[in-house]
Chains A and B, each alone.
Chain A
């Protein structure tokens, strides 16, 4: 609508510029429309999950689905207080935070070495790290189960924390190697001439500059561990049971309590979203994946 008015007012003065302004404005509206579509596309399933979690079973299974209904928080009270979803969320948090810290702690120095040092077999080593990310968890679940059982560590946090390293360490190394590469070398060469040790250069010069990469890889580590299902199903039972394993356990074909499932799902998703939103500024800066600035 405003496109038309813009054309109208501009046409009286200078046709050429007016035309261009109109075009620009039309483009702007197209842009706004597209962005709105993107937002809608991303958010709508999430919106539907939250609203379903506020429905009773009869309303959730109503046909056609209800958009306006009497919201109930009964599903939340039930999953949190009767089914112990809160406890499993705590487990997920412990596991995700610990594995992220470990992955970053082990991965950053390795990434720095891959980015800065020259040694034989470097490329193969890098590739081997990445390969670990590609192993399907279906392959490793049973061997892990048998080994972990032998060590008497079944249903403990530490097992999940360590196992999640197999797919988090590669991602940290990958992203951070690329970040370190993008830091100009003259900086550390200068420091080297001043007699700083490699460790000092890494810690005081390069690491601060690579923060976006560290942040992004932390977010991904966190998300991947928080969301992991297969290992959690096989390796935990009650004590260390994580939230996704809990959500799936409501999925007894015998009876599908959609409200409860969606309430649990919402509780699982919200912390990750918050965490990711906080760090989202870094997200773009850290994901350059080796493009050299």
Chain B
């Protein structure tokens, strides 16, 4: 552990040593030989991490002869597209799994556990090293009910981005440490002259449930469900969090319920808002003078903590081999997934605009210097909650309920208690239907 700086040098030797034990040195080219000419289909999103991967796949195809057909979709369509493909035995060979889809995909048997490949010395990279992934990312993005299906690929943590210049002008020499400080001190001081202290993206889609609703639940000790899988939204802690969100709205721009990521990031980038809590992936565009009018002022920190701890927003995607693929495609898909998420390629992935979940890459001083968000990211991933949003198969139904009533709460159409009641009743009906209450299904989230 203390040998960090020499790790990269040693890695090579280690790989050689492993290799010689296992008959011959493992190499991607050798492993891919039988699958040359295979084409694999995978759904990609239109986000920076995927552009980075697309760039890397050129090298992959050149070295392996495996072609990758990318089907690009915006996030909101990606789940539907994959579900339809899987139920009809379509052509997708890789599943792109958002952490909230994993229970769904696993229960339907659409993904192959990685064990099938890691146990095959011809396919498994000896340097795979699952322990090297931040545990919370592997647990949340890739694992369901104790089985690992996918490797963390496009990884996010919620971070706090702030405009240092605005904070300094108001007499603060650092960002808020706690949510209370944000509301009680930074809020009043920074909300003036048409500028606002904070913006919380709350548009009625996954943004409302993941970025807005859940973000206020956890730091205050709240949660969606209690241990018996009953709604926990009317608990004192959950209500404190939801009420806090209502209070905080006075320091947010008007019309916050129409803000998606783009509007929120833009509000900070145009200097209209002092603080936002957004995904790690936005770091580069906020620091880029071409897309940000206040690039020099932007700094980043871990999200504020609440009474129950930091509990930052957690999100991200893993890639898993799809069960419907034939054997060649499965092997080829595995090699691609392994390549994209490997230790060796982690820095390249970062350089191209992705965010790697490999711990080893952030141990390198030069990497931590090059990527100004690295420290905050590493800190956040120490404290993430895997069930930040429940990951079971029923989430797609439940998120729709949360989105509708969550925005209604913010608009003041219902009180937080009424809204929580509505969500609770509907959520429990969905869970009841799914068989959680009569013991048909294990209480896994």
B266 at interface by CB-CB < 8 Å: yes
Known: A57-B291, A249-B46, A255-B47. A233 touches B77 (CB 8 A): yes
Please report the C-alpha to C-alpha distance between residue A248 and residue B73 in the assembled complex, in whole angstroms.
Answer: 9
Known: A149-B88, A255-B262. A249 touches B291 (CB 8 A): no
Please report the C-alpha to C-alpha distance between residue A238 and residue B73 in the assembled complex, in whole angstroms.
Answer: 10
Evaluate contact between B76 and A63: CB separation under 8 angstroms: no
B371 at interface by CB-CB < 8 Å: no
Q: When each residue 45-89 of chain B gets 1 if its CB lies under 8 Å from chain A and 0 otherwise, what string results? A: 111000000000000000000000101111111001100100011
B125 at interface by CB-CB < 8 Å: no
Evaluate contact between B293 and A249: CB separation under 8 angstroms: no
Task: Please provide the chain B residues from 259 to 308 with a CB less than 8 Å away from any CB of chain A in the complex.
Answer: 260-263, 265-266, 270, 281, 285, 290-291, 293
Please report the C-alpha to C-alpha distance between residue A145 and residue B81 in the assembled complex, in whole angstroms.
Answer: 11
Please report the C-alpha to C-alpha distance between residue A65 and residue B42 in the assembled complex, in whole angstroms.
Answer: 39
Please report the C-alpha to C-alpha distance between residue A142 and residue B266 in the assembled complex, in whole angstroms.
Answer: 37
A273 / chain B contacts, CB cutoff of 8 Å: none
| Identity of the chain A residue whose Cβ is nearest the Cβ of B267 in the assembled complex | A61
Evaluate contact between B46 and A234: CB separation under 8 angstroms: no
A149 / chain B contacts, CB cutoff of 8 Å: 88-90
Cβ distance A30 to chain B, nearest Cβ, rounded Å: 39
Please report the C-alpha to C-alpha distance between residue A145 and residue B281 in the assembled complex, in whole angstroms.
Answer: 34
Evaluate contact between B74 and A146: CB separation under 8 angstroms: no
A154 / chain B contacts, CB cutoff of 8 Å: 90
B263 / chain A contacts, CB cutoff of 8 Å: 256
B89 / chain A contacts, CB cutoff of 8 Å: 149
Cβ distance A227 to chain B, nearest Cβ, rounded Å: 18
| Identity of the chain B residue whose Cβ is nearest the Cβ of A248 in the assembled complex | B74
Task: Please provide the chain A residues from 141 to 155 with a CB less than 8 Å away from any CB of chain B in the complex.
Answer: 142, 145-146, 149-150, 154
Please report the C-alpha to C-alpha distance between residue A149 and residue B86 in the assembled complex, in whole angstroms.
Answer: 11
Interface residues in A, total, Cβ within 8 A: 23
B207 at interface by CB-CB < 8 Å: yes
A138 at interface by CB-CB < 8 Å: no
Evaluate contact between B262 and A249: CB separation under 8 angstroms: no
| Identity of the chain B residue whose Cβ is nearest the Cβ of A149 in the assembled complex | B88
Evaluate contact between A254 and B270: CB separation under 8 angstroms: no
Evaluate contact between A253 and B84: CB separation under 8 angstroms: no
Evaluate contact between A61 and B261: CB separation under 8 angstroms: no
Evaluate contact between A252 and B71: CB separation under 8 angstroms: no
Please report the C-alpha to C-alpha distance between residue A58 and residue B265 in the assembled complex, in whole angstroms.
Answer: 12
Task: Please provide the chain A residues from 55 to 82 with a CB less than 8 Å away from any CB of chain B in the complex.
Answer: 57-58, 61, 63
A57 / chain B contacts, CB cutoff of 8 Å: 291
B266 / chain A contacts, CB cutoff of 8 Å: 61
B72 / chain A contacts, CB cutoff of 8 Å: 249
B290 / chain A contacts, CB cutoff of 8 Å: 58
A252 / chain B contacts, CB cutoff of 8 Å: 45-47, 74-76
B46 / chain A contacts, CB cutoff of 8 Å: 249-250, 252, 254-255
Evaluate contact between B76 and A253: CB separation under 8 angstroms: yes
B205 at interface by CB-CB < 8 Å: yes
B270 / chain A contacts, CB cutoff of 8 Å: 61, 63
Q: Is the interface of B mostly helix, strand, loop or mixed?
A: mixed
A251 at interface by CB-CB < 8 Å: yes
Known: A238-B71, A252-B75, A253-B203. A145 touches B45 (CB 8 A): no
B285 / chain A contacts, CB cutoff of 8 Å: 255
Interface residues in B, total, Cβ within 8 A: 32
In this complex, the member of A237, A250, A255 whose beta carbon has the largest number of chain B beta carbons within 10 angstroms is A255
Please report the C-alpha to C-alpha distance between residue A63 and residue B266 in the assembled complex, in whole angstroms.
Answer: 11
Cβ distance A166 to chain B, nearest Cβ, rounded Å: 20
Please report the C-alpha to C-alpha distance between residue A252 and residue B76 in the assembled complex, in whole angstroms.
Answer: 7
Please report the C-alpha to C-alpha distance between residue A233 and residue B69 in the assembled complex, in whole angstroms.
Answer: 18
Cβ distance A246 to chain B, nearest Cβ, rounded Å: 10
Known: A63-B270, A253-B203, A255-B261. A234 touches B84 (CB 8 A): yes
Known: A146-B88, A149-B90. A237 touches B75 (CB 8 A): no
Please report the C-alpha to C-alpha distance between residue A214 and residue B46 in the assembled complex, in whole angstroms.
Answer: 42
Please report the C-alpha to C-alpha distance between residue A255 and residue B265 in the assembled complex, in whole angstroms.
Answer: 9
| Identity of the chain B residue whose Cβ is nearest the Cβ of A56 in the assembled complex | B290
- Among candidates A58, A233, A238, A253, residue contacting B293 with C-beta atoms closer than 8 Å: A58
| Identity of the chain A residue whose Cβ is nearest the Cβ of B285 in the assembled complex | A255
Evaluate contact between A254 and B47: CB separation under 8 angstroms: yes
Cβ distance A248 to chain B, nearest Cβ, rounded Å: 7
Evaluate contact between A145 and B84: CB separation under 8 angstroms: yes
Evaluate contact between B261 and A253: CB separation under 8 angstroms: yes
Please report the C-alpha to C-alpha distance between residue A255 and residue B48 in the assembled complex, in whole angstroms.
Answer: 10
Evaluate contact between B291 and A254: CB separation under 8 angstroms: no
A233 / chain B contacts, CB cutoff of 8 Å: 77
Please report the C-alpha to C-alpha distance between residue A123 and residue B58 in the assembled complex, in whole angstroms.
Answer: 61
Evaluate contact between B207 and A253: CB separation under 8 angstroms: yes
Q: When each residue 112-137 of chain B gets 1 if its CB lies under 8 Å from chain A and 0 otherwise, what string results? A: 00000000000000000000000000
Task: Please provide the chain A residues from 230 to 248 with a CB less than 8 Å away from any CB of chain B in the complex.
Answer: 233-234, 237-238, 248
Please report the C-alpha to C-alpha distance between residue A56 and residue B266 in the assembled complex, in whole angstroms.
Answer: 14
Evaluate contact between A253 and B205: CB separation under 8 angstroms: yes
Known: A61-B270, A254-B261, A255-B261. A249 touches B88 (CB 8 A): no
A61 / chain B contacts, CB cutoff of 8 Å: 266, 270
B77 / chain A contacts, CB cutoff of 8 Å: 233, 249
Evaluate contact between B262 and A253: CB separation under 8 angstroms: yes
Please report the C-alpha to C-alpha distance between residue A20 and residue B75 in the assembled complex, in whole angstroms.
Answer: 66
- Among candidates A145, A250, A255, residue contacting B88 with C-beta atoms closer than 8 Å: A145
Please report the C-alpha to C-alpha distance between residue A256 and residue B260 in the assembled complex, in whole angstroms.
Answer: 9
Cβ distance A88 to chain B, nearest Cβ, rounded Å: 12
Task: Please provide the chain B residues from 26 to 48 with a CB less than 8 Å away from any CB of chain A in the complex.
Answer: 45-47
A58-B291, A249-B73, A255-B285 given; 11 more Cβ-contact pairs under 8 Å? A61-B266, A234-B84, A237-B81, A249-B74, A253-B76, A253-B205, A253-B260, A254-B45, A254-B262, A255-B46, A255-B262
- A residues with a Cβ closer than 8 A to B are 57-58, 61, 63, 142, 145-146, 149-150, 154, 233-234, 237-238, 248-256
A–B Cβ pairs within 8 angstroms, 9 of them: A63-B270, A145-B84, A145-B88, A237-B81, A238-B69, A249-B74, A253-B261, A254-B47, A254-B75
Closest 7 CB pairs of A and B: A256-B262, A252-B74, A253-B260, A149-B88, A252-B46, A254-B261, A237-B71
- B residues with a Cβ closer than 8 A to A are 45-47, 69, 71-77, 80-81, 84, 88-90, 203, 205, 207, 260-263, 265-266, 270, 281, 285, 290-291, 293
